[in-house]
Amino acid sequence: MDENPLQIAQKQLEECAQIMNLDEGLVEYLKEPDRVMRVKVPVRMDDGDIKVFIGYRAQHCGVRGPYKGGIRYHPEVTMEETIALAMWMTWKCAVVDIPYGGGKGGIACNPKEMSRREIERLTRRYTTAILPIISPDQDIPAPDVYTNPEVMSWVMDTYSIFKGYSVPGIVTGKPVELGGSRGRISSTGRGVAIVAREAATRLGMRLSDARVVVQGFGNVGYHAAKILSEWGARIIAVSDSRGGIYQESGLNVEKVRDHKLETGSVLGFDGAREVSNEELLELECDILIPAALGGVITKKNADRINARIIAEGANGPTTPEADRIMDEKCELVIPDILANSGGVIVSYFEWVQDLNRYFWDEERVNAELEKIMIRSFNEVLKVKRELGKDATWRNAALSLALKRVVKAFELRGLWP
Ligand code: GLU
């Protein structure tokens, strides 16, 4: 049986802890989340019926600061997955050195089959349920799979109503009009594009010669594709949950986006050949960006992946067995905790702006994002060099993150 995301996350931690010679008790401490809340979310559906959903908020490790992480609405959300995603947030915030711990929330539901009003009631009831454990100093949610700025507005409004005054810093990824940050929407994709560009430069590859394949055409995949194509790369294939399209001469990303907005999918785009999501991952290319869901690169298909660089836009797209194979096959693998950290980095800027009541222009946001992404990319590269061939790229990124988390833990000490 395939491993669940929590088993994968724990395995990654154990493997890395071994390389670093970490104390066993410390590893046990980091394998467990600080706190997990499981909540019942009853919703009055549009037809008058009551439907009960199950939601979670996991807080993995708070030694470096308040918990931070998105809220996911997806039918396959489970407690284990939410904990794994929270753990990855701890490493992600540490690898780019922003002062947060890891959190994540989710509700098992299918938002594609729900009306906007039903999603609003679901969001408000869920926010009310997790209210005792969130605050701008404690745990700050954000968007994740199938949640967006509108959902964040409802989180912010619900929390503010209970407080009796507006609390913009309770959530990030809000609309700019409510205290959101300029540049937040494109930030995860922009971060992916920045590290992909840096990796290409390291390999002596010109971006204008690079052929890019993107799995997933949501917020992350679309913006990564758009920005890379603006920088001269050729986007030869993209996909969404229904399947993919391939055009060797390069897709016009904006036109694909318009087509998806019109028809609901990238499929049927003029002049492109259709490919399945599995075939898409195996296309020969220079840069592969898995930016859909987790667990798509496994030991079953890793051997057939044909890319020089992988930049993981999604959280957890590669299983541990596949990691080893990818490390041998690809010249440079940029693991999720680094590659997709642009979102939480700009979330951090948003929170800072909210707390200061002073807002930045987009140039400043993008420039500061770029600075952190490049610095972190270079730091991971350095650790990878120090650890040598036996360590994977993921080991390198994770060990940098773990070092920072462990340092904070040691400085604080174990109470009592
Ligand atoms: N959901 C995003 C992630 O997985 C963003 C989290 C945030 O901004 O807090 O990194």
Whether 68 sits among the annotated catalytic residues: the reply is no
> Within a domain: residue 325?
yes
3-state SS, residue 315: coil
Provide the whole-model pTM: 0.97
Q: What's the gap in Å between 327 CA and the centre of ligand 1?
A: 25
Q: Within this chain, do residues 126 and 207 fall inside the same structural domain, yes or no?
A: no
Name which of 294, 335, 342 is nearest 173 in CA terms.
342
> Within a domain: residue 200?
yes
> Within a domain: residue 155?
yes
Which domain range does residue 335 map to?
A: 186-339
> Within a domain: residue 41?
yes
Residue 260: give its domain's CATH number.
3.40.50.720
In terms of phi and psi (left: phi > 0; alpha: psi -120 to 50; beta: otherwise), the region of 247 is beta
Q: Within this chain, do residues 157 and 264 fall inside the same structural domain, yes or no?
A: no
**The token pair that represents 198 in the structure block:** 């840096």
Cα-only R_g, the chain? 20
Q: Within this chain, do residues 190 and 333 fall inside the same structural domain, yes or no?
A: yes
pLDDT at 390: 87
Ligand 1 contact, 90 CB (< 6 A): no
pLDDT at 2: 66
Q: Within this chain, do residues 120 and 201 fall inside the same structural domain, yes or no?
A: no
3-state SS, residue 44: strand
Q: Within this chain, do residues 200 and 110 fall inside the same structural domain, yes or no?
A: no
Ligand 1 contact, 102 CB (< 6 A): no
Ligand 1 contact, 69 CB (< 6 A): yes
In terms of phi and psi (left: phi > 0; alpha: psi -120 to 50; beta: otherwise), the region of 297 is beta
> Within a domain: residue 356?
no
Q: Within this chain, do residues 204 and 262 fall inside the same structural domain, yes or no?
A: yes
Total domain count for the chain? 2
Domain boundary among 293, 315, 339: 339
Q: Within this chain, do residues 149 and 91 fall inside the same structural domain, yes or no?
A: yes
pLDDT at 389: 85
What's the pLDDT tens digit per position in 9-57?
999 999 999 999 999 999 999 999 999 999 999 999 999 999 999 999 9
Q: How far is it, in rounded angstroms, from Cα 141 to Cα 366?
A: 22
Q: State the closest ligand 1 atom to the C-alpha of 315, by its place in the atom list counted from 1.
A: 4
Ligand 1 contact, 82 CB (< 6 A): no
Q: What's the gap in Å between 325 CA and the centre of ligand 1?
A: 27
Domain boundary among 305, 339, 373: 339
What's the pLDDT tens digit per position in 169-182?
999 999 999 999 99
Q: Within this chain, do residues 146 and 261 fall inside the same structural domain, yes or no?
A: no
Q: What's the gap in Å between 70 CA and the centre of ligand 1?
A: 5
3-state SS, residue 56: strand
> Within a domain: residue 176?
no
Q: What's the gap in Å between 270 CA and the centre of ligand 1?
A: 34
3-state helix, strand, coil in the chain (%, to 5): 50, 20, 30
Residue 159: give its domain's CATH number.
3.40.50.10860
Low-confidence stretches of the chain (pLDDT < 50) are: 1
pLDDT at 1: 47
Ligand 1 contact, 343 CB (< 6 A): yes
What's the pLDDT tens digit per position in 155-166?
999 999 999 999
> Within a domain: residue 387?
no
For the sheet containing 67-74, what is the strand order? 35-44, 50-61, 101-108, 67-74, 139-143
Q: State the closest ligand 1 atom to the C-alpha of 344, by its place in the atom list counted from 1.
A: 8
Domain boundary among 141, 169, 197: 169
Ligand 1 contact, 174 CB (< 6 A): no
Q: Within this chain, do residues 213 and 256 fall inside the same structural domain, yes or no?
A: yes
Identified catalytic residue from 31, 51, 68, 104: 104
Q: Within this chain, do residues 144 and 204 fall inside the same structural domain, yes or no?
A: no
Q: Within this chain, do residues 212 and 318 fall inside the same structural domain, yes or no?
A: yes
Cis peptide before 416 (omega within 30 of 0): yes
Alpha carbon 218 to chain centroid, angstroms: 12
Name which of 171, 76, 85, 84 is nearest 130 in CA terms.
171
> Within a domain: residue 103?
yes
Q: Within this chain, do residues 222 and 265 fall inside the same structural domain, yes or no?
A: yes
Q: State the closest ligand 1 atom to the C-alpha of 88, by its place in the atom list counted from 1.
A: 4
Handedness of CA 68, 226, 394, 85 (dihedral sign): positive
Q: How far is it, in rounded angstroms, from Cα 318 to Cα 295?
A: 5
Ligand 1 contact, 121 CB (< 6 A): no
